[in-house]
Amino acid sequence: MSDEQERPPAKATTLKDIAEQTGFTINTVSRALKNKGDISAATIKLIRQKAEELGYIGNVMASSLRSGTTKTIAVIVADVSNPHFSIAVKEIERAARMQDYTTFILNAYEDQEVERKAIQSALSKNVDGIIICPSQGSENNLAFLERTGTPFVLLGRHLEDDTMDYVVSDDEKGGYLATMHLLELGHRDILFLNAHHSISSSRERLAGYKRAMAESGFAVNPELIREVPHLTGGVKNELSEVIKSRLAYTALFAFNDMMAWESIYVLNKHHIRVPDQISVVGFDNIQSRLFVPFPLTSVSNAKGKTSRKAFEILLKKMHKQNSGKRYHEVVDTRLVVRESTRSLL
């Protein structure tokens, strides 16, 4: 028989083991590990050191059965490969960790069925709350989530009837700022590569685009407004068709930075130089967190503030604070000008 077969199974360290090693009662050990205020800092430090030395791991399941909470939240986003969502998730996780919550992430890929399964998966783990950037076009999943009674907050998007709590950026202002910047540079034919109109931020950025055009006295050319899948890789076919059609435009405004960078890649493949021939503006200001070789003019939507605010609201809902209050938070946007745009004047 091998040594591995002869070795008895490892026995999990218990509160009793820590109590015996430290000389404190099991109750004191338990309260010290929970950082209770009636236990001295010196005692907490000693007990925590011994617990770590013995390899103690708290029984989350047993604790959740006693307290009725799991100290976990789920974050459901469209596509975590998009740095915008990665940054948002990181900010939520950081804020949650400071309140002793564990976060786990689920992708929905803008797919209603995948999103439904993500919600069900989160609920099956008895999460205390959910932050979700919903795939829009059908509200069935959100209605289902609302019926479960689990606290949740919408991030980045909201419903037209505004019946649920949300934190969004000022997308209409962002669309206006991006378009006005290009108009002020002398551009008149501005191609707008937008996401599907079912998404609230898509509709609002388009409204900002149209407002800037109207205020400047220019008619909107419907041919210059294109809806494309905004998951990574969705721009190539649409923009290639636009280029082949020889539609006249001197600037491009993209729904988000990922679409803007993909647009620049496609333009380069067709030997169209940015910004010498085409100016490009994105949305999300990902370069505030990531160093990308090509500096992109972009609308900043305060990703950190938006994400932290979403968690703060979820925390209040989980703790049943201000019961019945509806939270509709709109975070300001601003334009960050870099080298992807140039004047025609």
Q: Are both 308 and 163 inside the same structural domain?
A: yes
pLDDT of residue 259: 95
Q: Are both 129 and 101 inside the same structural domain?
A: yes
Q: Are both 297 and 310 inside the same structural domain?
A: no
The answer to whether residue 121 is domain-embedded is yes
Residue 49: is it exposed, middle or buried by C-beta count within 10 angstroms (0-12/13-18/19+)? exposed
pLDDT of 13 > 90? The answer is no
**What value does the mean pLDDT take over residues 294-309?**
94
The answer to whether residue 216 is domain-embedded is yes
Query: The CATH number of the domain where 80 resides is what?
Result: 3.40.50.2300
The answer to whether residue 144 is domain-embedded is yes
Q: Name the percent of the chain lying above pLDDT 90.
A: 75
Q: Are both 9 and 153 inside the same structural domain?
A: no
Where does the chain show beta strands of DSSP type E? 72-77, 102-107, 129-132, 152-155, 166-169, 190-194, 225-227, 251-254, 279-283, 297-300, 328-331, 334-336
Q: Are both 262 and 219 inside the same structural domain?
A: yes
Residue of 179 and 15 predicted with greater confidence? 179
CB 90 within 8 A of CB 83: no
Q: Are both 226 and 312 inside the same structural domain?
A: no
The answer to whether residue 291 is domain-embedded is yes
pLDDT of residue 305: 94
pLDDT of 77 > 70? The answer is yes
pLDDT of residue 230: 63
**What value does the mean pLDDT take over residues 43-62?**
80
Q: Are both 255 and 311 inside the same structural domain?
A: no
Q: How many domains does the chain have?
A: 3
The answer to whether residue 207 is domain-embedded is yes
CB 312 within 8 A of CB 142: no
Q: Are both 151 and 239 inside the same structural domain?
A: no
Q: Are both 203 and 266 inside the same structural domain?
A: yes
Q: Are both 238 and 260 inside the same structural domain?
A: yes
The answer to whether residue 314 is domain-embedded is yes
pLDDT of 7 > 80? The answer is no
C-alpha angle 90/91/92, rounded to 5°? 90
Query: The CATH number of the domain where 22 resides is what?
Result: 1.10.260.40
Per-residue pLDDT reduced to its tens digit, 265-282 = 999 999 999 999 999 999
- Residue 4 pLDDT grade (very low, low, confident, very high; cuts 50, 70, 90): very low
Domain carrying residue 116? 72-168+303-331
Q: Are both 116 and 220 inside the same structural domain?
A: no
The answer to whether residue 251 is domain-embedded is yes
Q: Are both 276 and 182 inside the same structural domain?
A: yes
**What value does the mean pLDDT take over residues 89-98?**
95
The answer to whether residue 91 is domain-embedded is yes
C-alpha angle 123/129/132, rounded to 5°? 85
**What value does the mean pLDDT take over residues 147-160?**
94
- Residue 177 pLDDT grade (very low, low, confident, very high; cuts 50, 70, 90): very high
